């Protein structure tokens, strides 16, 4: 029996979830345990249809789904997991064989492949936002036809002054879904509590040396995308803060001698790779990453639709470049950053499209920048030697700037 068949059986088996839960309770602890239990519970709920399953593009606020009593399921996150589990490449090839050309984002090609391989939970609703990238809304609309399920589009304005237009769309969507109870008050309360813990985490991480690596936080980025608005999200961020405080008082450092504090833009490759080990070996640490920015304000249940609209529109990658740059400089300053690495995901017109402009701006201020090309989930073009050479050259540049030798 091949790996995909086994995964399919596992995803639909009550016994597999029970075994998984027992293993997590025995083996894991702290924030990792909370994250793993959250994903297990939500995956189980989605595959067994315990609550209405809402597929959404990544920047549809999960608070909306929780308020509607649903399970948020983000195929883009599923694509990331498939890379981590080592079967994304063959799934992407399935998407490509279905007339999706290889210039399109691999995450979306993978989403289509996972659907065609029947590895996804069947959606009750699909919600896509025109937020950030063109591909997400398109492929999700196509998938809604495949499943013959209702599709909702949130046409997201670029200008915050038009937030009321998006708020109206969200309100209309809620009305059309017509669920019996829409609980914004408690969901927003969970979201804001998680937000406050996240804020604390960001404060603690300003300390030097770095006490948690950006790589680890980026591995947990699905919690950022999906868990806000759930009780599990609060527990996760609470435990994470507790762990960081413990590390801080124990003078913990993730490398023996931290030489370079780096800021990572966009996300990281989710298949096995040596990027972060290579950096660590040279005393370089990802001290902060773009996706840990809290770009929104705590949500207000008295104006729920506008509050959610503001959260969506204020995303750092949406709206003016000047706003994104302002956020980058703030982090460089507050986290005492020595250099910036921007990961240019192939096929990503929104993020990698801006990378050169960000690079030019930072270099004009003498801030070292490395534009690292690659793919978040498709390992077929991963070239370790080439990548290592580029990272080494970048660290040499940082060393030259600091007037110190390379490790």
Element (H, E) at 341: strand 339-345
Which member of 1, 103, 181, 385 binds other proteins (CB under 8 A)?
A: 103
8 binds other proteins (CB under 8 A): no
- Least Å distance, CB 152 to other proteins, is 11
- Interacting positions 116-135 with other proteins (CB under 8 A): 130, 133-135
- Closest alpha carbon to 243 in 281, 268, 217: 217
162 binds other proteins (CB under 8 A): yes
What SS3 class is residue 2? Answer: coil
Q: In this complex, which beta carbon is closest to other proteins, that of residue 14 or of residue 172?
A: 172
Which member of 192, 224, 235, 352 binds other proteins (CB under 8 A)?
A: 352
Find the part of the chain contacting other proteins (CB under 8 A) among 103-111, 182-190, 307-315, 375-383.
103-111
155 binds other proteins (CB under 8 A): yes
- Closest alpha carbon to 261 in 390, 401, 371: 401
Vertex 11, ends 7 and 12: CA angle to 5°? 120
Which member of 3, 349, 381, 404 binds other proteins (CB under 8 A)?
A: 349
- What's the gap between Cα 45 and its chain centre? 21
Find the part of the chain contacting other proteins (CB under 8 A) among 61-69, 79-87, 307-315, 351-359.
351-359
- Closest alpha carbon to 113 in 131, 87, 135, 136: 87
- Least Å distance, CB 176 to other proteins, is 13
Find the part of the chain contacting other proteins (CB under 8 A) among 10-18, 166-174, 385-393, 396-404.
166-174
315 binds other proteins (CB under 8 A): no
390 binds other proteins (CB under 8 A): no
355 binds other proteins (CB under 8 A): yes
What SS3 class is residue 357? Answer: helix
Q: Which residues pair with 165 in a beta bridge?
A: none
- Closest alpha carbon to 297 in 68, 56, 34, 61: 61
310 binds other proteins (CB under 8 A): no
Q: In this complex, which beta carbon is closest to other proteins, that of residue 162 or of residue 208?
A: 162
- Least Å distance, CB 365 to other proteins, is 17
Q: In this complex, which beta carbon is closest to other proteins, that of residue 336 or of residue 356?
A: 356
DSSP alpha helix (H) spans, 2-105: 3-11, 14-27, 30-47, 62-67, 75-84, 88-97
DSSP string covering 135-161, please? HHHHHHHHHHHHHT--EEEE---SSGG
Which member of 50, 118, 159, 384 binds other proteins (CB under 8 A)?
A: 159
- Least Å distance, CB 167 to other proteins, is 12
353 binds other proteins (CB under 8 A): yes
> Could you tell me which residues come within 8 angstroms of residue 394 by beta carbon, excluding any fewer than 6 positions away?
339, 341, 368, 370
Q: In this complex, which beta carbon is closest to other proteins, that of residue 356 or of residue 384?
A: 356
Cβ pair 210, 285 in contact under 8 A: yes
- Closest alpha carbon to 189 in 307, 50, 343, 355: 307
Which member of 320, 380, 381, 393 binds other proteins (CB under 8 A)?
A: 320
Element (H, E) at 387: helix 384-402
- Least Å distance, CB 362 to other proteins, is 15
354 binds other proteins (CB under 8 A): yes
Distance in angstroms (rounded) separating the CA atoms of residues 336 and 338: 7
- Least Å distance, CB 305 to other proteins, is 14
104 binds other proteins (CB under 8 A): yes
- What's the gap between Cα 85 and its chain centre? 17
The phi, psi pair for 196, rounded to 5°, reads: -65, -40
Which member of 17, 125, 139, 335 binds other proteins (CB under 8 A)?
A: 139
Find the part of the chain contacting other proteins (CB under 8 A) among 32-40, 99-107, 262-270, 380-388.
99-107
**Which two tokens mark 398?**
């940082």
Q: Could you say which DSSP state residue 347 is in? A: T
141 binds other proteins (CB under 8 A): yes
Distance in angstroms (rounded) separating the CA atoms of residues 172 and 183: 16
Interface with other proteins (CB under 8 A):
98-101, 103-105, 130, 133-135, 137-139, 141-142, 153, 155, 157-159, 162, 165, 168-169, 172, 320-321, 344, 346-347, 349-350, 352-357
């Amino acid at each position: 029996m091949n790996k995909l068949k086994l995964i399919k059986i596992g995803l639909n088996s009550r016994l597999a979830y029970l075994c998984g839960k027992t293993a997590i309770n025995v083996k894991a602890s702290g924030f990792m345990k909370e994250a793993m239990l959250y994903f297990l519970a939500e995956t189980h709920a989605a595959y067994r249809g315990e609550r209405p399953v809402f597929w959404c593009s990544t920047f549809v606020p999960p608070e909306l789904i929780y308020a509607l009593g649903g399970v948020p399921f983000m195929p883009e996150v599923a694509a990331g997991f498939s890379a981590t589990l080592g079967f994304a490449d063959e799934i992407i090839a399935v998407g490509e064989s279905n007339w999706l050309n290889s210039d399109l984002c691999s995450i979306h090609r993978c989403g289509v492949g996972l659907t065609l391989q029947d590895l996804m939970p069947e959606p009750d609703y699909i919600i896509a936002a025109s937020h950030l990238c063109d591909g997400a809304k398109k492929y999700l609309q196509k998938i809604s036809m495949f499943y013959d399920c209702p599709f909702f589009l949130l046409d997201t304005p670029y200008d915050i002054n038009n937030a009321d237009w998006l708020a109206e769309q969200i309100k209309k969507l809620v009305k059309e879904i017509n669920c019996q109870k829409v609980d914004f008050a408690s969901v927003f309360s969970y979201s804001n509590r998680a937000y406050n813990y996240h804020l604390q985490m960001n404060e603690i991480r300003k300390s030097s040396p770095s006490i948690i690596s950006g790589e680890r936080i980026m591995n947990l980025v699905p919690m950022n995308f999906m868990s806000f608005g759930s009780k599990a999200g609060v527990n996760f961020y609470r435990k994470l803060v507790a762990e960081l405080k413990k590390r801080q008082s124990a003078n913990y450092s993730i490398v023996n001698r931290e030489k370079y504090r780096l800021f990572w833009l966009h996300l990281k490759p989710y298949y096995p790779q040596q990027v972060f080990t290579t950096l660590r070996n040279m005393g370089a640490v990802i001290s902060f990453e773009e996706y840990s920015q809290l770009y929104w304000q705590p949500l207000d249940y008295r104006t729920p639709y506008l509050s959610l609209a503001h959260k969506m529109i204020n995303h750092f990658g949406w709206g003016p470049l000047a706003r994104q740059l302002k956020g980058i400089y703030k982090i460089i300053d507050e986290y005492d950053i020595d250099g910036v690495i921007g990961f240019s995901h192939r096929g990503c017109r929104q993020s990698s499209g801006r990378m050169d402009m960000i690079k030019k701006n930072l270099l004009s201020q003498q801030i070292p920048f490395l534009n690292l090309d690659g793919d978040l989930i498709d390992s077929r073009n991963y070239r370790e030697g080439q990548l290592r050479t580029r990272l080494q050259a970048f660290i040499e540049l940082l060393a030259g700037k600091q007037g110190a030798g390379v490790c």
